[in-house]
């Protein structure tokens, strides 16, 4: 028996398929897991035991390495990057919604990438010049945060753009309903055969189909084949932590008079100065304040329950 490290890329009826050293192994968890209540997840880094003498024999999954993070519906662990698909039209672009997604992703210690879909439809609706102005405006808002912003047209050119983005690591796609997540996945992973909104509605009317997530090798990384992340639950963020989930606010905040500055009404606040000079976008600050209010409102409810 030989021990190897690998990543679970698929789980089907009790088997966990592990990718290790450019090979796939069908593994079954060792009985041990039943006692510890540990359930392996797609994305898990694991240690497996392989019978070198007999490559057909079942390999054993003996250890799950500590997880960086864990998402639910669908369950997946160790996500490095999330591509947030946000349409420019149909549905209309919303700074507010995008910032909620970004905070939620940042709080899970995942790096976001912003994809603006339906650029072609925006051009149709408002003309080339106005469409480019809109995209530039969005770029200006997110550049201080260091986020990558890419526009999509639902054609072959999207594939090259995404290929340039993806390096090593595990990538997922998120975004509200109808923005084009499945459409993009089909472009990127034609072999995965993902149903787009309209088709899946026709086929699954009234049925509950739970599809397990599968990871596909993509460039040097993995891409999850699910468009199922339409929202992640509003995370349980502490008031004092929110500032770290807006990278440009975190950076500017290092120069505030008080280390504990929450950038609300404190004197000597460098974040507020940078909003005034335009170095931090007003919309980003407004959404920071709004999410802060939501956290404050949640607290009393939280305490009553106890």
Ligand X SMILES: Nc1nc2c(ncn2[C@@H]2O[C@H](COP(=O)(O)OP(=O)(O)OP(=O)(O)O)[C@@H](O)[C@H]2O)c(=O)[nH]1
| Residues in binding site for GTP | 117-120, 175-183
50: partner contacted, choices Zn ion, ligand X, none (Cβ within 5-8 A by kind): none
Report how far apart, in Å, the C-alpha atoms of 279 and of each of 19, 93, 273 are: 45, 22, 9
The least CB distance from residue 279 to Zn ion, in Å, is 13
Residue 263 binding target from Zn ion, ligand X, none, CB below 5 to 8 Å by type: Zn ion
Bridge partners of residue 20, in order along the sequence: 23
Strand duo 170-174 + 221-224: pairing: parallel
Indicate which of Zn ion, ligand X, none lies near residue 112 (CB less than 5 to 8 Å, by partner kind): none
- In whole angstroms, give the CA distance from residue 227 to residue 18: 22
Q: Can you give the binding site for ligand X, defined by CB under 6 A?
A: 117-118, 120-121, 152-154, 175, 177-183, 196-198, 227, 230
Nearest to 18 by CA among 49, 54, 39: 49
What residues does 86 pair with on adjacent strands? 116
Residues that bind Zn ion (CB under 5 A): 256, 261, 263, 269, 271
Instruction: Give the residue ranges of the annotated binding site.
Output: 117-120, 175-183, 256, 261, 263, 269
Judged by beta carbon, residue 75 or residue 176, the one nearer ligand X is 176
Nearer to ligand X, 24 or 164 (CB): 164
Of the two residues 169 and 197, which places its CB atom closer to ligand X in the complex?
197
Distances 157 to 10, 73, 150, 162, 222 between C-alpha atoms, Å: 29, 30, 11, 9, 20
Residue ranges for the known binding site for Zn(2+) are: 256, 261, 263, 269
The entry of ligand X, Zn ion, none that residue 120 binds, CB within 5 to 8 Å by partner kind: ligand X
* Two structure tokens written together for 177: 């309903």
Cβ proximity of 174 and 83 under 8 Å = yes
Nearer to Zn ion, 181 or 272 (CB): 272
């Amino acid at each position: 028996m030989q021990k190897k490290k690998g990543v679970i890329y698929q789980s089907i009826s009790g088997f966990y398929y592990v990718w290790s050293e450019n090979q796939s192994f069908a593994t079954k968890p060792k009985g041990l897991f039943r006692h510890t209540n540990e359930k392996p997840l797609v994305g898990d880094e694991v240690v497996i035991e392989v019978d070198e003498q007999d490559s057909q024999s079942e390999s054993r999954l003996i250890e799950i390495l500590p997880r960086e993070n864990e998402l639910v519906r669908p369950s997946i662990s160790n996500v490095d990057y999330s591509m947030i698909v946000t349409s420019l039209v149909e549905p209309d672009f919303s700074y507010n919604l995008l910032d909620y997604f970004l905070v939620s992703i940042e709080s899970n210690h995942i790096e976001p990438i912003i994809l603006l879909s339906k650029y072609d439809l925006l051009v149709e609706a408002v003309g080339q010049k106005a469409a480019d102005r809109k995209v530039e405006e969005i770029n200006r808002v997110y550049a201080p945060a260091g986020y990558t912003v890419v526009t999509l047209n639902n054609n072959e050119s999207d594939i090259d753009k995404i290929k340039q983005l993806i390096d090593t690591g595990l990538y997922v796609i998120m975004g509200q309903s109808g923005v084009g997540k499945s459409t993009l996945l089909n472009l990127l992973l034609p072999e995965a055969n993902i149903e787009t909104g309209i088709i899946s509605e026709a086929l699954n009317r009234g049925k509950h189909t739970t599809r397990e997530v599968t990871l596909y090798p993509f460039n040097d990384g993995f891409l999850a084949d699910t468009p199922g992340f339409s929202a992640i639950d509003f995370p349980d963020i502490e008031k004092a932590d929110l500032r770290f989930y807006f990278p440009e606010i975190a950076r500017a905040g290092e120069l505030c008079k008080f280390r504990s500055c929450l950038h609300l009404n404190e004197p000597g606040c460098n974040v507020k100065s940078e909003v005034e000079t335009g170095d931090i976008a007003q919309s980003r600050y407004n959404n920071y304040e709004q999410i802060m209010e939501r956290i404050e409102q949640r607290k009393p409810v939280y305490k009553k329950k106890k």
